A and B are shown apart, each in its own frame.
Chain A
Amino acid sequence: METTVSPIRLFLLRFKREKQAWVALIFLIVLILAACLAPWIAPFSPDQEDYNSALLAPSWAHWAGTDMSGRDIFSRILFGARISLSVAFLSVTVGAVLGSILGVVSGYFGGYLDSIIMRISDILFAFPSFLLAIAIVAVLGGGIINVIIAIAIFSTPMFARLVRSQTLSVLNQPYVKAAQTMGASHMRIMFKHLIPAASGSILVYFTMRLGTSILTAASLSFLGLGAKPPSPEWGRMLADGRDLMLVPGYMYLTLYPGICIFLTALSCNVLGDGVRSALDPKS
């Protein structure tokens, strides 16, 4: 009965019913807007130090309080969203693009190329991803760009495996055979037929990896291996607030940046779950 409905239409129809995923999607859209508009909507400058108003508890003037240098935490969170979101988005995008290309090439051509690509990804899988990130940052040095590179490197083999297995599962389908018979080029088959066939899985994985990537980047910055001060990156803000964590009454320093990391990662995971169950109603 659903044969006349296009797959994308069907997906949208099913996705409409995923209420939690909608909440997550709206949260992410609001966050992205807030990050883009940060210079206009933030009540204070994120770097403006004011030692007369240091360590103020949350109030009407400072919604999330001020830190040790008197910087407004709410404004810093807004500017930090730009960093955290772009690190996550860039790193996973690089991983997804590289991984998808390697995966489709590996699955389509098979043979030696396949063996080599898959052995390398096996080796990368032999390391826990967080450890790999630390090793990469230890070699390249800290900083945001190196965090993006590290996360992209360990995301690549995951997408490669995913796209490879999707490619293998459709390789013998009539429409791929037909395209080959009609003389379509390898490039055309890979990018017009095989990658689109894997696009649903890629989308699910992409959304979920965004969550993991936000957590990893924040962890690295928290450990002093990522964003450098005075950056308002969220993990970095937690690290700054840590100095007073043993003193009662200063929990707000770490509370709000932490909640932001949590809610953003949560939204990515819930959205990913929703997309998956809309694509595959059985799961």
Chain B
Amino acid sequence: MSHYIAKRLLGMLFVIFVIIIFSFLFVHLLPGDPAQIYAGGDATLADIANVRHRLGLDQSLLSQFYLFVSNLFQGHLGVSYASGESVVDILKPRLMVTATLGGMSLWFIPMGIFFGFVAAVFKGRLPDRLSMVLAVGGISIPDFWLGLVLMQIFAVHLGWFNPTGYESLSDLVLPSITLGMMGTAIVARFTRSAFLDVLSENYIQTAKAKGLSEFSVLIGHAFRNALLPIVTVIGLQIGFVLSGSIVIENIFSLPGLGALLIDSVNNRDFPIVQMLLMIFAFNFVFINFLVDILYMVINPQIRMK
């Protein structure tokens, strides 16, 4: 088992290294001279030369990369070229908003399992059909449109919530409902098929044959085993919450990281874009790593080795 963790950890470190390289190259991949991009549109040639020297852009690519990585580890994430503030100061307050929104959107996990479970138990009957119609709808609905519709109904017409902005937790209710919809649908579909797979196994027939109640067969025998493949899907969906927040924060004007990413791309504020892409990718990779470890911990077949 520790061999497996070590292998997975190495794999993650490799991917993190690649992400750092990509983020470093990001500014160089942009069309145009990075020094000019940093210096701004109305900079003089002297300004550009100055910036080039200050950022070390006149050095070799390798030593620039060394500088980039060592700055990263010391927590120097660069300076926004739009406002001149340090990127760390800009990101800090926004991180909390996005994390809270992400946390609140995790309602999709129990909801998805519930719908998938009900669908599997009532296979082919009305509850199954309803759940699966909802699930395929949830996968196909554009989240930005769902957000706009919910906002217009519950905030503009009924006045239950503030339509935009973030002052209290209640402002995150509609955004988190929107953000969790896709996850609910995907988890429900996977839960259903995982349960159907398990319910056709011989040991379930045995349990039924020896006279156990329907309930104890479902909860005691089927639930645990069906949960195994679902964990991976749930983990992947948690990873997607952060990238989903990009659109949702934008619609509801929430001052989080996702809204910042779009603003920065539109303002061509590349130091911020660079750091955000890196943070988002790190988060995704790290969650996937945790899920793999969790999967292994709850799966006796791997644990025993």
Contacts and interface: CB of A to CB of B under 8 A. Distances in A.
B140 A245 contact: no
Q: How large is the interface on B (under 10, 10 to 19, 20 to 34, 35 or more residues)?
A: 35 or more
A136 B47 CA distance: 29
A225 interface: yes
A128 B240 contact: yes
Contacts of A129: 243
Interface string B254-270: 00000001100110000
A131 B242 CA distance: 9
Contact of B140 (A127, A130, A251, A269): A269
Given A128-B243, A128-B284, A219 B30 contact: no
A138 B19 CA distance: 16
Nearest to A133: B243
Interface residues of A, number: 43
B15 interface: yes
- Most chain A CB inside 10 Å of its own CB: which residue of B148, B244, B261, B281: B148
Of B18, B29, B142, most buried by chain A (CB within 10 Å of CB) is B142
A65 to B, nearest CB: 15
B142 A224 contact: no
B145 A273 contact: no
A89 interface: no
A137 B145 contact: no
B209 to A, nearest CB: 23
A219 B144 contact: yes
A279 B151 CA distance: 41
Contacts of B243: 128-131
A270 B193 CA distance: 16
Given A139-B26, A261-B145, A246 B265 contact: no
Residue of A122, A245, A254 with highest tally of chain B CB at under 10 A: A245
A265 interface: yes
Contacts of A266: 136-137, 140-141
Contacts of A265: 139-142
A283 B193 contact: yes
A248 to B, nearest CB: 6
B22 to A, nearest CB: 8
A245 B152 contact: yes
B277 A135 contact: yes
Given A242-B148, A261-B145, A223 B280 contact: no
B1 interface: no
Interface in B147-205: 148-149, 151-152, 156-157, 163-164, 193
B116 to A, nearest CB: 15
A77 to B, nearest CB: 14
Given A134-B261, A269-B136, A258 B149 contact: yes
Interface in A32-91: none
Nearest to B270: A138
Interface string B120-149: 000000000000000011011111110011
A123 interface: yes
Interface string A253-283: 0110110011001101110010000000001
Contacts of B31: 139, 141
B111 interface: no
B261 A219 contact: no
Of A134, A235, A265, A273, the most chain B CB neighbours within 10 A belong to A134
B148 A258 contact: yes
B285 interface: yes
Contact of A134 (B137, B246, B251): B246
Contacts of A268: 140
Given A138-B273, A223-B247, A245 B265 contact: no
A247 B152 CA distance: 9
Contact of A273 (B136, B157, B246, B262): B136
Given A128-B281, A139-B26, 20 more contacts: A123-B18, A127-B284, A128-B280, A134-B261, A134-B265, A139-B29, A211-B139, A218-B142, A219-B142, A222-B247, A223-B246, A224-B266, A225-B262, A245-B152, A248-B157, A254-B152, A262-B140, A269-B136, A273-B136, A283-B193
17 contacts: A123-B15, A126-B281, A126-B285, A127-B280, A128-B239, A128-B281, A130-B243, A131-B277, A134-B265, A235-B144, A238-B148, A251-B149, A251-B152, A258-B142, A261-B142, A261-B145, A265-B141
Interface of A: 122-123, 126-131, 134-135, 137-139, 141, 211, 215, 218-219, 222-225, 235, 238, 242, 245-248, 251, 254-255, 257-258, 261-262, 265-266, 268-270, 273, 283
The 8 closest A-B pairs by CB, nearest first: A258-B145, A266-B140, A128-B243, A265-B140, A130-B243, A126-B15, A138-B265, A131-B243
